[in-house]
């Protein structure tokens, strides 16, 4: 039996609060939560990226991470929302004589590390997953080895599915954390071993088949069959389509295929970029997208100059608005990044079989040892053209249950789904949304009939500064600001038709937790109330 630790007095833990306390002899911190009078004890760090959960919030019986909004049931630490993959380790706790006592196992001294190997291999708490059962002869095929496919496979086993699960990926790698590519991985702070979401061993233990380097070429809805390049077809009883996106390569641009002109979508792309920029002095990034700007932050180093070419006046103008865009541009310029704004590329120039420069319509020529294409992605749905009437952008329309056709569901970058708040059909290329899609789609493949109702949430990090965004606003009538955008300490509320439809923030993590929750419930204050001075933190 583990020894009990006299952690703290009862008065140190008010109702509804999260508090972290050290343990003796430089032991691990323990997170305490008091909910409806009951005390609960957990590991103090989020199993996703190691965020201090004491800086999060306890909302309606759930512990919500302050960084990326992973969510855990306060009753037992069960994972209820990604991007974490694992339950929160829970410890035995009791309260007696106005003291709180806990039992902490030795493995609890391993805080989550975003650059470590997957938690499945270092003692993290895994959800209770089932393995395949010979009695269940069904086959569920998941096309896509990204966020949606990986989370769907995990969910199917958690929900007790005993049939065959096949995860099909066009990449020759186990599903990995794509969010690190343009950040820690490109900056050299995350190594290849830190990239997989789970190791091969995880999939083997739970009898999930990985079909890697497999490119789908077609779908026959009548036969329930997916065809592949150089592989036999796969029959399915239920199918999840989550192939993700394909980077735009500017095929009509002269010189687009020169060596040294590189996209950034896959780990192989990032490896190629790391090799190409090792000795590069001039790096030009075409596009001021989140990937482009994060890449600029990661590739900037001593002795290397980075220039971003943007079609807009400031980065993110159409997504976040001119004020926030100007703040990010100033942040990059302070670090030494150059900008060519409202610019158009007319050609990529080369010599001796390698890119050497970028020609702008203005006549300006930018020298370049490497050119990074950060001009967005398109849904990887070419193989679905015979089976579905796709949207103009290549997206696939689904209903509120993420169903595209009988026995067929879609998730992640390709899914155009109805936003719960407005009913508007929307396609969102966010990591956490893809994971949430994967979970809901998996449950519906099992007949649960669960609507997707979560408010979208994403984040970006540049030079250690994090912006968080909840909701979705393709357009807006106005933006209401609380705080100081230039000082990276603000909340921005996006208003459309007298309703708040989205919000962005920096340095307001706790407020953002509440906002995302209320946004999902349709309980946000009116724009008029915010204009009249209502302070968000007081809600």
At 152-180, the pLDDT tens digits run 999 999 999 999 999 999 999 999 999 99
Does one domain contain both 386 and 370?
no
Give domain status of residue 29, yes or no.
Answer: yes
Query: What CATH code is carried by the domain that includes residue 104?
Result: 2.102.10.10
- The Cα 362–Cα 383 span in angstroms is 39
pLDDT at 301 over 50: yes
pLDDT confidence of residue 522: 82
pLDDT confidence of residue 118: 47
pTM: 0.93
Number of domains forming the structure of the chain: 4
Task: Give the residue from 68, 91, 121 where a domain finishes.
Answer: 121
Give domain status of residue 252, yes or no.
Answer: no
pLDDT confidence of residue 121: 43
Cis peptide before 28 (omega within 30 of 0): no
Dihedral in degrees, nearest 10, Cα atoms 385, 387, 392, 398 = -140
pLDDT at 125 over 70: no
Does one domain contain both 355 and 412?
no
Task: Give the residue from 344, 374, 404 where a domain finishes.
Answer: 374
pLDDT at 533 over 80: no
Does one domain contain both 12 and 110?
yes
Structural domain including 309 reads: 261-374
Task: Give the residue from 86, 121, 156 where a domain finishes.
Answer: 121
pLDDT confidence of residue 126: 52
Does one domain contain both 151 and 212?
yes
Give domain status of residue 343, yes or no.
Answer: yes
* pLDDT (mean) for 464-471: 96
pLDDT tens across 230-276, in order? 999 999 999 999 999 999 999 999 999 999 999 999 999 999 999 99
360 and 286 in contact (C-beta within 8 Å)? no
pLDDT band at 302; cut points 50, 70, 90: confident
Does one domain contain both 39 and 86?
yes
Reported as type and span, the H/E element at residue 430 is none
The overall average pLDDT reported for the chain is 93
CA atoms within 13 A on the CB side of 66: 18
Does one domain contain both 114 and 13?
yes
Does one domain contain both 270 and 359?
yes
Question: Which tokens sit at 415?
Answer: 């899914």
Does one domain contain both 158 and 307?
no
pLDDT at 123 over 80: no
Question: Which tokens sit at 503?
Answer: 């919000």
Give domain status of residue 134, yes or no.
Answer: no
- The Cα 524–Cα 526 span in angstroms is 7
Query: What CATH code is carried by the domain that includes residue 491?
Result: 3.30.390.30
pLDDT tens across 432-449, in order? 999 999 999 999 999 999
Does one domain contain both 241 and 383?
yes
Does one domain contain both 10 and 113?
yes
Does one domain contain both 385 and 345?
no
Does one domain contain both 432 and 534?
no
pLDDT at 127 over 70: no
pLDDT band at 128; cut points 50, 70, 90: low
236 and 407 in contact (C-beta within 8 Å)? yes
Give domain status of residue 391, yes or no.
Answer: yes
If one compares 400 and 301, the residue with the highest pLDDT of the two is: 400
Give domain status of residue 117, yes or no.
Answer: yes
Residue 516, classed as helix, strand or coil, is helix
pLDDT at 112 over 70: no
Give domain status of residue 453, yes or no.
Answer: no
pLDDT confidence of residue 108: 61
pLDDT at 535 over 80: no
Give domain status of residue 306, yes or no.
Answer: yes
Query: What CATH code is carried by the domain that includes residue 383?
Result: 3.50.50.60
pLDDT at 387 over 70: yes
């Amino acid at each position: 039996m583990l020894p009990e630790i006299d952690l703290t007095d009862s008065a140190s833990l008010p109702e509804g609060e999260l508090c972290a306390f050290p343990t003796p002899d430089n032991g691990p911190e323990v997170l305490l939560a008091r909910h409806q009078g009951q005390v609960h004890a957990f590991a103090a760090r989020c199993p996703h990226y190691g965020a201090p959960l004491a800086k999060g919030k306890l909302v309606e019986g759930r512990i919500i991470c302050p960084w990326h909004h992973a969510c855990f049931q306060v009753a037992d630490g069960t994972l209820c929302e990604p991007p974490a993959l694992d339950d929160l380790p829970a410890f035995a706790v009791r309260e007696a004589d106005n003291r709180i006592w806990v039992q902490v196992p030795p493995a609890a001294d391993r805080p989550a590390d975003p650059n470590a190997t997957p938690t499945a291999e270092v003692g993290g708490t895994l959800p209770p997953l089932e393995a395949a059962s010979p009695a269940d002869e069904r086959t569920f095929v998941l096309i896509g080895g990204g966020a949606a496919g990986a989370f769907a496979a995990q969910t199917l086993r958690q929900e007790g599915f005993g049939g065959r699960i096949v995860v099909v990926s066009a990449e020759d790698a186990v599903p990995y954390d794509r969010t690190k590519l343009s950040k820690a991985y490109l900056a050299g702070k995350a190594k290849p071993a830190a990239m997989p979401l789970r190791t091969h061993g995880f999939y083997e233990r739970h009898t999930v088949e990985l079909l890697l380097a497999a490119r789908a070429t077609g779908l026959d809805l009548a036969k329930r069959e997916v065809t592949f390049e150089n592989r036999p077809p796969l029959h399915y009883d239920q199918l999840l389509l989550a192939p993700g996106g394909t980077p735009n390569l500017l095929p009509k641009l002269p010189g687009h295929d020169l060596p040294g002109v590189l996209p950034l979508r896959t780990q192989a792309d990032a490896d190629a970029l790391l090799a190409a920029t090792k000795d590069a002095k001039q790096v030009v990034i075409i596009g001021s997208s989140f990937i482009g700007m994060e890449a600029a932050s990661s590739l900037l180093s001593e002795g290397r100059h980075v220039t971003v070419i943007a079609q807009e006046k400031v980065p993110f103008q159409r997504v976040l608005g001119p004020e926030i865009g100007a703040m990010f541009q100033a942040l990059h310029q302070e670090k030494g990044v150059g900008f060519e704004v409202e610019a158009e590329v007319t050609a990529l120039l080369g010599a001796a079989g390698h890119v050497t420069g970028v020609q702008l319509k203005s006549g300006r020529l930018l020298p370049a040892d490497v050119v990074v294409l950060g001009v967005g992605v398109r849904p990887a749905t070419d193989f679905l053209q015979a089976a579905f009437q796709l949207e103009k952008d290549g997206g696939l329309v689904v209903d509120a249950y993420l169903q595209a056709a009988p026995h067929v569901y879609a998730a992640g970058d390709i899914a155009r789904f109805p936003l719960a708040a407005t009913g508007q059909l929307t396609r969102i290329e966010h990591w956490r949304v893809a994971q949430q899609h994967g979970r809901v789609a998996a449950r519906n493949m099992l007949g649960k009939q669960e609507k997707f109702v979560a408010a979208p949430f994403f984040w970006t990090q540049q030079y250690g500064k994090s912006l968080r965004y909840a909701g979705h606003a393709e357009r807006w009538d106005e933006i209401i600001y609380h705080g100081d955008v230039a000082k990276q300490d603000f909340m921005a509320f996006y208003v459309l038709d007298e309703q708040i439809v989205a919000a962005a923030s920096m340095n307001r993590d706790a407020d953002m937790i509440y906002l995302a929750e209320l946004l999902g419930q349709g309980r946000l204050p009116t724009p008029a109330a915010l204009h009249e001075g209502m302070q968000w933190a007081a809600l």
